[in-house]
Structure 1
């Protein structure tokens, strides 16, 4: 799942994006189980998958510790829906997604367009579009394509870019934003 590689995913960038988490999340979870009461730092991810009809709303990190069962839920949710193949999603990508979501100050979940892609699915998509990378980070469980109704592509792009912690692609004509845990870079219109 998570790797300790030397990509430019900076701790400072993510910590800055999560700085508001305590203030924003504490009131939301005031009635949660004891472990969450007064928790200084929690990370939550909310998504909907229109292709499978599934919803996910999970706290996956509390006080510096990832929660294995929650990450298993994320991995299954972000599976290749075409063939149900599952791969561990890099926690750095999940952190970027959650941090960007916090910055957008909305309760609406992300709509997942694409998470993990199996080699078969990636090859099929490449045969249909020149916009699909041969060595896509989706193949490694390191990327997500997301959209929201309550926020524009530009708003999502700016929030993800503010994290300064990976790749952010803006696909305005297709109405989604790509987020990954690779080197800091951006593209698209």
Structure 2
């Protein structure tokens, strides 16, 4: 059985790894492969779509980022732009596993493909992250080595879905970190190691 590593994701940017739950369980893969869980095998002709709306500038993106087992460069570029650091305008290549995780989260909530996810925070430049940490207050939970700076995290909410339900769905997927911020009105999801707070 052939496995796909993070290095291969970079060197083969258009290929979506074909990893099934059975292959993971029966193949005895290393722990690193568990990080690829948000990439299930894709049915022939299937599409992965993600629609987001930035709550700070009201910009929306609705893009197909994978089709028939291959990444769609134009869709990835649109999502990278939509998930950029809205404070500085800096665009970063977002982790494709994060995009898949968000699409799977939407599906887990039985929402249609064009249902927008409200974005509080996507990519954060080191400058923005440091400024938020220095400001403190509501940003006291900002990590020095934030997953946001790696393009592996979003803070989100979904109109019409309670934060409790959103958090529960994210936890059930087991695709990485899940943070619950009911006072601030969002759930953090990332593709780092599986943990919750």
CA distance in 2: counterparts of 1:7 and 1:183, whole angstroms: 12
Distance 1:120 1:7, change over 3 A: farther
Among residues 103, 127, 133, which one is paired with 2:134 in the alignment? Answer: 127
CA distance in 2: counterparts of 1:49 and 1:154, whole angstroms: 21
1:57 and 2:83 matched: no
Computed over aligned residues only, the root mean square deviation of the Cα atoms, in angstroms, reads: 1.9
Deviation at 1:8, TM superposition (A): 3.3
SS of corresponding position for 1:149: coil
TM norm structure 2: 0.77
**1:102 corresponds to:** 107
1:84 and 2:93 matched: no
Deviation at 1:120, TM superposition (A): 0.9
CA distance in 2: counterparts of 1:142 and 1:14, whole angstroms: 15
1:139 and 2:149 matched: yes
**1:151 corresponds to:** 161
**2:34 corresponds to:** 8
**Structure 1, unaligned runs of 5 or more:** 23-37
TM norm structure 1: 0.80
**1:30 corresponds to:** none
SS of corresponding position for 1:101: helix
**2:123 corresponds to:** 116
SS of corresponding position for 1:71: helix
Greater relative contact order (CA < 8 Å, ≥ 6 in sequence) = 1
Distance 1:138 1:173, change over 3 A: same
41-50 vs 114-123, which moves further:
41-50
**1:25 corresponds to:** none
SS of corresponding position for 1:59: strand
SS of corresponding position for 1:89: coil
Structure 1 contact 8–184 (Cα < 8 Å) conserved: no
CA distance in 2: counterparts of 1:64 and 1:161, whole angstroms: 25
Among residues 160, 173, 184, which one is paired with 1:174 in the alignment? Answer: 184
